[in-house]
Chain A
């Protein structure tokens, strides 16, 4: 079956702009988590959505937001971009959450902020 799909794979934005990233989970998976990956901080948890509701949220400012649709597809949005937002954004899906099953990661969306 198809894996986790993230779009776009690469994008370049300038400071102050906003960006929307998309994630299509594995069919049947209801949980979608988002992570930010940078060389300095590693993998950091942004938020988790389950059945269209945000179930957990990491320590990121309110500029980072997300949502999940009825088909479990998820989007995350970053507004008023800063240089430090340059990172690889990873989406992971699982049946019911990371603590009940394996997390499957997408290949990520590489965001560069100039």
Chain B
């Protein structure tokens, strides 16, 4: 059930370290952004979202930062665990068909 893995940027971190995953979004008109996590053999799973009237939002062990000036989004994971190993996607609501646009994804690999 693997879905991605080829040609993906990869971030390798040690268990317990903090991880930062970056995303450049495409449409300056986008005003809603979401981070998804996709484990091998599974569909994407919602992690956290943020609207353009905010520049930071925190969840449990995760923080999303939004910089509208440079169209940049980041996901910070604190105290990364082996279970965090997955592909992470950002998404924006700037699709011309009223759809979400997904980034290509970043593979996070956590070393025990």
Task: Output the nearest chain A residue to B91 by Cβ-Cβ distance.
Answer: A43
Residue count of chain B within 8 Å CB distance of chain A: 28
Chain B residues in 8 Å Cβ range of A106: 43
The reply to whether the CB of A59 lies closer than 8 angstroms to some CB of chain B is: yes
Name the interface size band of chain A. Answer: 20 to 34
If A45-B99, A57-B97 touch, does A39 touch B4 (CB 8 Å cutoff)?
A: yes
CB <8 Å contact, A98 and B7: no
A32-53 CB contact bits vs B (8 Å, 1 = yes)?
Answer: 0101010110111100100000
Distance of A88 Cα from B101 Cα, bound (Å): 17
Assuming A42-B102, A56-B97, A58-B97, is B45 touching A105 (CB within 8 A)?
A: yes
The residues of B that contact A98 with a CB separation of less than 8 Å are 93, 99-100
